[in-house]
Amino acid sequence: MAPTASDITGLDRFQALWQRNLTDGAIDNSSAIHQRLLAGYSESQRHYHTLEHIDHCLARFEECKALVSEPDALEIAIWMHDVILVSGRPDNEALSAQLYLELSKGVQHDEMRQLVSRLIMATLHNGESLDDADAIYMVDIDLSSFGLPWDDFLRDSLNIRAENQHLCDRDYQLNQTRFQQGLLARPRFFLSDFFFDRYEKQARDNLARYFEYQRDSG
């Protein structure tokens, strides 16, 4: 049975995940790491990249889990991919990956550690770090909120704007439009068949409607 929304980001789930990937004799700091994650996703400057985003991503992961090659690595990457969020910094993903590498040093196998790091970096959404089999699922999971119903999509869009107070409206809109148009220009918004079948049309419809919303609001 899939976890419910109330326990999907709970300690029991994270602890079981972390513990089954420990090397022999490694010290288990999963409780402290979980608290570090909760503290990060609860920071006051966050509006979109909160624990709710991790809830959403883990729920999508549960839906496609049977299709991925290394589910534990993908799940750890989901937990860790936005733990560092400093407004205006271009290297939040790299910092999040670095934090994971520090927390996992000496307690998880290096092959696992490097894979998780690459999966985190895939969420830059620049077309790189997609060599690993599960990277397309990582990318699609992270972008899946584009395929939510319109009201939820608009709420998320406004929350992302609230996280970027360092940018004026003009610069923010230019940056976001460039990113969104880049996604739309791809032959497929979602790279995996699983997410393409479920969210492609809604995501494209949402963005078309959002561009109209921005013009009307401007």
- pLDDT of 145-158, one tens digit each? 999 999 999 999 99
pLDDT higher than threshold 70 for residue 218: no
Q: What is the pLDDT of residue 1?
A: 39
| Residue type (1 letter), 97 | A
Mean pLDDT of 29-34: 97
100: left (phi over 0), alpha (psi -120 to 50) or beta: alpha
Report if residue 190 sits inside a domain: yes
59: left (phi over 0), alpha (psi -120 to 50) or beta: alpha
Across the chain, mean pLDDT equals 94
In the chain, the percentage of residues whose pLDDT exceeds 90 is 89
132 contacts 119 by C-beta, under 8 angstroms: yes
Q: What is the pLDDT of residue 137?
A: 98
Report if residue 3 sits inside a domain: no
37 CB-near residues (< 8 Å, 6+ apart) = 14, 79, 80, 83
Specify the CATH number for the domain of residue 112.
Answer: 1.10.3210
User: Look-up: residue for tokens 């999509």?
Assistant: 153
Split at pLDDT 50, 70, 90, the class of 3 is very low
Mean pLDDT of 88-114: 97
102 vs 214, more confident:
102
Report if residue 52 sits inside a domain: yes
pLDDT higher than threshold 90 for residue 187: yes
Report if residue 113 sits inside a domain: yes
User: DSSP for 140-197?
Assistant: HHHHGGGGS-HHHHHHHHHHHHHT-TTS-HHHHHHHHHHHHHHHHHSS-SSSSHHHHH
Report if residue 65 sits inside a domain: yes
Report if residue 6 sits inside a domain: no
pLDDT higher than threshold 80 for residue 7: no
Split at pLDDT 50, 70, 90, the class of 4 is very low
Phi, psi of 114 (to 5 degrees): -70, -35
| Count of the separate structural domains present in the chain | 1
pTM over 0.85: yes
Q: How many CA atoms lie within 13 A of 68 on its CB side?
A: 23
pLDDT higher than threshold 80 for residue 206: yes
Domain range enclosing 156 = 11-217
Q: Please tell me the least confidently modeled range out of 6-20, 68-82, 167-181.
A: 6-20
Split at pLDDT 50, 70, 90, the class of 8 is confident
Q: What is the pLDDT of residue 2?
A: 43
Q: What is the pLDDT of residue 5?
A: 43
**Distance from C-alpha of 172 to C-alpha of 167, rounded to nearest angstrom:** 6
Q: CA distances (Å), 92 to each of 70, 84, 96, in order?
A: 24, 6, 6
| Size (the chain), residues | 218
